[in-house]
Amino acid sequence: MEKQRQPDIQIVTSPVLENVMQQFRQDSFTDDQERLDHIKALIARSTAITLPSPSIYRQAAIDHTKEMPSMQMSNIQLPKRVENVVIQNNGKAKVGVIGLSMSGRNTLIGALAGGIRPDKISSNPFSKTSYDIYKINYPNNGVIERTIDENVKIYEEFFQTMKLQNLSALLVTVYGSLRDNDFFIISSAQRHGIPIGIVRTKLDEWLDNTHDSKECYIQKDKKFIRNSLKSEKIEKMDDLIFNISALSYIIIAEEGQQNCSMAKYLQDEPLLEEFLKNYGINWPKACDWVLLEMN
């Protein structure tokens, strides 16, 4: 008699965890080693945590020796971070930078500040002579609710409470695919008439990991983002997608114009500069944009 085959064991997770795991499988997970070690230690010290951001669950997923954290038990103390602040109407131009974990938000802020390493910026907003740079976290700790109506209400209240309508411009940093958070913030900004741009901040990283030419890669990437926006019926964004290397900008600012080996990664920085200038934000140049013609 043939031995009956045992059914495969399947792991059952909640819809939220399944969605996070799916994102993890699709994403290229990168981060600095210090932060990875810190999150591992955080998970090891705790039997359960809630879902403050997808990044913690991605780390739990790659550490197979640890049990997936539960969302049903009490919170643990997370590392202190710069919190959202109300956008002040102080007469200066104001640019807000919002994005999910690992999207390059901090590095972009450092670039907008004139070429400063992210760990050197501890104030929110960071003030320049003629403009302020606001670091903005997504509402509801980045958690997306089940229905569109619930999320529209959350983001509308977020705009009113934080007075985001006082922003001169809003930049959304996106790494990989656009997420629901990004779609909701872009739609909300359009409803409030806030100029908005999508910034792909890690062009150096992508170019180092592709066989495509620079021009071919950027063309395909912008088409991908445009199609994603149009699938959600978000229009008038075709010319507001900026592929830049925020890290290259900072390194060039540190090394000076005579040592611009990183200039080969620059691309839409002049376009982003022009976009910001239209709204009173004079982004200081790390080097002459004419260097782009050499690469």
Whether residue 85 lies inside any domain: the answer is: no
Among 80, 112, 145, the domain boundary falls at 80
262-285 burial, b at 16+ Cβ within 10 Å, e below that, comes to bbbbbbbbebbbebbeeeebebeb
Among 47, 80, 113, the domain boundary falls at 80
For residues 66 and 98, state if they share a domain: no
Among 80, 106, 136, the domain boundary falls at 80
Whether residue 131 lies inside any domain: the answer is: yes
Instruction: Tell me the helix, strand and coil percentages in the chain, rounded to 5.
Output: 45, 10, 45
The pLDDT value recorded for residue 258 is: 57
Whether residue 113 lies inside any domain: the answer is: yes
Whether residue 3 lies inside any domain: the answer is: yes
The CATH number that applies at residue 207 is 3.40.50.300
For 51, the domain range is: 1-80
For residues 130 and 62, state if they share a domain: no
For residues 140 and 273, state if they share a domain: yes
Write out pLDDT tens, residues 244-287.
Answer: 999 999 998 887 765 567 888 999 999 999 999 999 999 977 65
pLDDT mean for each 10 residues of the chain (295 residues) = 48 46 47 55 42 38 37 36 78 94 93 91 88 92 86 92 94 94 94 96 93 94 95 93 94 74 89 95 70 48
- Into how many domains does the chain fold? 2
The pLDDT value recorded for residue 284 is: 78
For residues 59 and 144, state if they share a domain: no
For residues 71 and 98, state if they share a domain: no
Whether residue 232 lies inside any domain: the answer is: yes
**Two tokens at 12?**
């059952």
Residue 141 and residue 27: Cα distance in Å, rounded? Answer: 20
The reported pTM is 0.70
Whether residue 87 lies inside any domain: the answer is: no
